[in-house]
Every structure is written in C-alpha cells, then in structure tokens.
Chain A
Amino acid sequence: MSALINLFSYQFFQNSFLAAIFAAISCGIIGTYIVSRRIVFLSGGITHASFGGIGIGYFLGINPMIGAAVFAIFSALGIQFFTNNGKIRQDSSIAIWWSLGMAIGIIFIYITPGYAPDLMSYLFGNILAVTGTEISLMFSLCILIILCFIFFYRIILYIAFNEEYAKTSGLPVSFINYLMMVIIALTVVLNIRVVGIILILSLLTLPQATANILTNDFKSMIFLSVLFALVGSLSGLMMSYYANIPSGASIIFILVVIFGIMKLYSGLSRRYNHLL
C-alpha cells in the first residue's frame, strides 16, 4: 500500500492516473454514441487518418499531436461531407481517408532525417509519458463532451436513433452530426497517447460492448461504459507500470477480460436461470 502511495508522489504517475480517468470518461461517452450509431469503422478511419498528421509533424519538427488533430478533424469533416452529398459511398470514403492518412504518415516519417524515437508510443500508446499540457487538453475535452451531452442529450439521442425522422421534427441534424464528428476526432487524437492509434478503437467499443450486455438503454450504457472504461484503464495503468509493458496493450487486455467474464456470466445466468 505504501508503495502505491509512494507511486503517487511521482509527477509522471499523477499525470498518467489523471489521463486514465479522462480517457475513460471521454471514450466511455463518445464510444456509446459510436457503437449505437454503428460508426465504429468511421471512427477507425478518423484514427488512422490522423497518422498522416503525426508524420507531417515529425517532418516539420512541430508537435505531432497538433498535426494529428488537424488531420483527424479534416478527415472527420471530409467523410461526413462526402456522405451528406451522397456521391461516394460512406464505407469507400472512409477507406480512402484511412489509407491516405497512413500513407502520408509513412512517407513523411520515412523522409524525415534520423530515427523517430517515440513512434511506437503513438502507435501503441504510452500513458506514462503523458504531459501536463495533454492532461489539461484531455480535461477540457471531457468538460466539452459532458456539457454537450447534458444540454443536447435528447437531441443527440433522437438524431442518432432515426436521423430522417429527426429532420421531419426540425432538429438541427447536420449541425449535430458535424459537431459529433469533430468531438469524435478530438477524442481519438487526445487519447492516442493513452492507448495508441492501433488500439484506440477498442477503448471506444469494448466498454460499450460490455455495458450492452447489461443494458439496452442509451443513458445507462453511457454510465456503465464509463465505469468499465475506468476499471480497465486504471488497472491497465497499474499493469503497465509493474509489468513494464505498453499501456495500450495492458488496458485493452483487461477490457477484453472484463468483457469475457460478463459475457460468460450473462450466458450462464440465462442458461441456468431456471435452476436458481
């Protein structure tokens, strides 16, 4: 126990602890929206497109996270724009942005002189290296998401459930769709440091899939997702620190274990319910 308290005296550990909490809140809420609307693939597209920005950031010598943010937001708006205007099918459009971003990233990292030392931390996450600036950005994002979901909860829910019907009720469908796209892009980029580009999809889907075993209501799913994401990211952080493995991998591993246990539990209780 005292070892644990000792751990909290380190600035870097306090940062990662906060990062784990903020990641759980933002991914828990936004992931529920993503899973409910079945736009997991789209979120994958935005995530991977942001790699282009990381490559350009390296090349120009600016913070790769800024490049990633620009790329993520542009690809999110681009996908939404092409979908709205209907000329390109959405999944094709996503695949184009996805691979274009990755290609640009690889090209620019390749032509950047020298070795890209912490490239791995962008791909697989390194929660122990999160900086104070990133923490305050993650905190602001959480506040933004929470405010949006408090003020617009029903509007977001109605549009997500049945977009066409929402249009006939005069709801601002386009505005909310673009707003949510930007929020998804920001959530992806700001959580890259925690779980990495390759693994972030799981933080947006695993806690939700686990929550979905227990509930079929949007609001309960949000709260349960945040809860499962919290358990996963905090215990993943501990595992990452003590076993000295990348945080992304340990967090996802624990989330999968939780999912497996819940699935098994619900399966067994359904099958043997009559015996109890």
Chain B
Amino acid sequence: MKKLIEIKNLSVRYDDHLVLKNVNLSIDEFDFLGVIGPNGGGKSTLVKAIMKIIKPSEGEILYHIPFSKVGYLPQINQIDHRFPIKVIDVVRSGKADILTRNPFKKNKEEIRQAEELLEDMGIANLKDKSIGGLSGGQLQRVFLCRSLIKNPSLLVLDEPDAFVDNRFESLLYEQLKKLNKKMAILLISHDIGTIAFYVKNIACVNVNVFYHQGNKISQEQLDDYDCPLKLISHGKIPHTVLKFHE
C-alpha cells in the first residue's frame, strides 16, 4: 500500500501547553481514516499540522504526494458567513495555481470545473448566490466543492458534520464514500457512532494518538487508548459495539 503522508514523532506545543505528543501516523492510498477524541484532545491541531497551518514543535511530516494534492475542509465556524462573496468564487478559491497564472485571462476551464462540482453536490442553482443566505448544509457542500476542485489525492475534513441536519449528514457520508474510491480521506468527527459506519480505520487523538486497525471499536479499547469517549448510538437503545449499529 502506498503511503501518502507519514507523520513522524510529531509534537505540537502552544506556549508551554503540550497538545500533541510524539505522534506517529501514516495515511495510505485510498484509506478512510476517522479521527476521534475528546474536545481539546488535539484533533484539529493534528489536521492543522498536516495542512501546514501550524509548525510542529518537534518531529516532521513527510509528504509523498505534492502538497497541492491535499484538499482541506476547515471547521465551518472559522468562516465569516456574511462575507460578500459568491458561491462560485468560494469554490474557485480552492485552486492553488492562482499565483502562477495570468490574472487577465478568463479561466473557463476552472469555471466549468467549479460548476460541475456544484452540480454533483446538487447545488448548481446556488452558483451566483452569496454565501450569506445559505444553510449550514449548503455551506458545507460549497466548502467540500472548494476542497475538491484541485483533484486531491488526500482529502482532510475537520468536522464536516458540525452544524448540519441529520439528512445532510447521511448525504455527506454517502458522498464521501463515493469520493473514497478516488482518494484517501481523513475525517475528524466527534460523532463516532456515525463515522464508524463509513471509515476503514480509526485514530484516537488525546495528546497521544493511537491507530486502530478497522472500524470496529469497543468501549474497552477506547479506554485502553486513553480516549474518554462514550459510545452512544442514535438508536433507541444505547450500545457499545459499533458493528451492530442500526
């Protein structure tokens, strides 16, 4: 299996506060890695380190694919929802080659790609709307399009299921399942009940990172990984073994 990214002995400190300690993790081609962990456990920090937004204090991250092939969907609450920008321009902002091209040439290919992605997500009609009027689910789809326009080999998603309704959530995961045929996916979620359905492997992040082969995880294993999460399903009866989730 080809490795896309290798994280080696990564530690991240904010001032004196150790957020990630000695993390070793690699992401393989076509992997679908679910990242879970308690709030403040370092999930987002891990993703930001991968996206080169923050510098590691120690250790390194090796990229075996060009960095421009890593797509990113940040947490939605970091974005100013009233910023005057059109949906199509948000999608186009995902293209990384803007510095190297002629600013006066109308980029028909890029516009077509953006329209196609919006079409795939079922929101082609929102193309010329500004983002201010969109619902949480629509906005997430727009940002998903933005991360896909560069044809990533690895897609990194930071809580795409936050602020969206249940219907959109299952739609999103079906969409990701399809995308996973073409690219590896790293997905942060605090809803382990749902993601365990779709992911192939799980990483538990709580300062330390434990890699868990497969998508079936039990409460005992979570406790072993020092990952203080409770396995609670959406069903009527709370249960702990995700395998039987219904």
The chain A residues found within 8 Å of chain B, CB to CB, are 36, 38, 150-155, 157-158, 160-162, 164-172, 212, 215-218, 221
Task: Report the separation of the CA atoms of residues A152 and B104 in the bound assembly, to the nearest whole angstrom.
Answer: 10
What residues make up the interface of B, taking CB atoms closer than 8 Å to A?
51-53, 67-68, 70, 72, 74, 78-80, 83-86, 89-90, 92-96, 98-99, 103, 130, 132-133, 146
Asked if A161 contacts B99 (CB within 8 A), the reply is: no
A161-B93, A162-B78, A169-B98 known; 5 other A-B pairs, CB under 8 Å? A36-B84, A158-B98, A160-B83, A161-B90, A165-B146
Task: Summarize A's interface: helix, strand, loop or mixed.
Answer: helix
Contact A161 B83, beta carbon cutoff 8 Å: yes
CB distance from B73 to the nearest CB of A (A): 9
- B132 → chain A, closest Cβ, in Å? 5
* 18 chain-A/chain-B pairs, Cβ below 8 angstroms: A38-B80, A152-B103, A155-B99, A158-B93, A161-B83, A162-B93, A165-B74, A165-B146, A168-B52, A168-B53, A168-B70, A169-B94, A169-B96, A169-B98, A216-B130, A217-B84, A217-B85, A218-B89
Cα distance A162–B94 in the bound complex, in angstroms: 11
Using A157-B89, A164-B78, A216-B132 as known contacts, say yes or no to A170 and B83 having CB atoms under 8 A apart.
Answer: no
Complex Cα distance, B80 from A155, in Å, reads 17
Please pick, from B67, B80, B103, the residue contacting A161 in the complex, using a CB distance under 8 A: B80
Min distance, Cβ B91 to any Cβ of chain A, angstroms: 11
In the complex the two chains form, is B84's CB within 8 Å of A164's CB?
Answer: no
Contacts of A152 in B (CB 8 A): 103
Give the chain B neighbours of A217 by CB distance below 8 A: 84-86, 130
Q: How far is B236's CA from A164's CA once the two chains are assembled, in angstroms?
A: 40
A172 / chain B contacts, CB cutoff of 8 Å? 99
Question: Which chain A residue lies CB-closest to B89?
Answer: A157
Contact residue among B70, B84, B92, B132 (Cβ-Cβ distance under 8 Å from A218): B84
Residues of B within 8 A of A215 (CB): 84
A150, A151, A169, A221: the one within 8 Å of B93 (CB) = A169
- CA A212 to CA B132, docked complex, whole Å: 12
Whether A212 touches B99, Cβ cut-off 8 Å, given contacts A162-B78, A162-B93, is no
- Which A residues lie within 8 Å of B132 (CB)? 216
Residues of A within 8 Å of B103, CB to CB, are 150-154
Q: Which residues of chain B have C-beta atoms less than 8 A from A151's C-beta?
A: 103
Alpha-carbon gap, A158 to B91, bound state (A): 10
Set A157, A165, A212: member contacting B85, Cβ < 8 A: A157
CA of A154 to CA of B102, assembled, Å: 11
Complex contact A221–B98 (CB within 8 A): no
- CB neighbours (8 Å) of A170 from chain B are 67-68, 96, 99
- Please measure, in the bound complex, the distance between the C-alpha atom of A181 and the C-alpha atom of B2, giving whole angstroms: 45
Q: How far is the CA of A165 from the CA of B89 in the complex (A)?
A: 14
For A165, the chain B residues whose CB sits under 8 A away are 72, 74, 93, 146
Q: Quick check: A168 and B72 within 8 Å, CB to CB?
A: yes
Q: Which residues of B contact A160 (CB under 8 A)?
A: 83
A162–B89 Cα distance when bound, in Å, is 12
User: Are the CB atoms of B93 and A164 closer together than 8 Å?
Assistant: no
**B-side contacts of A158, CB under 8 Å:** 93, 98
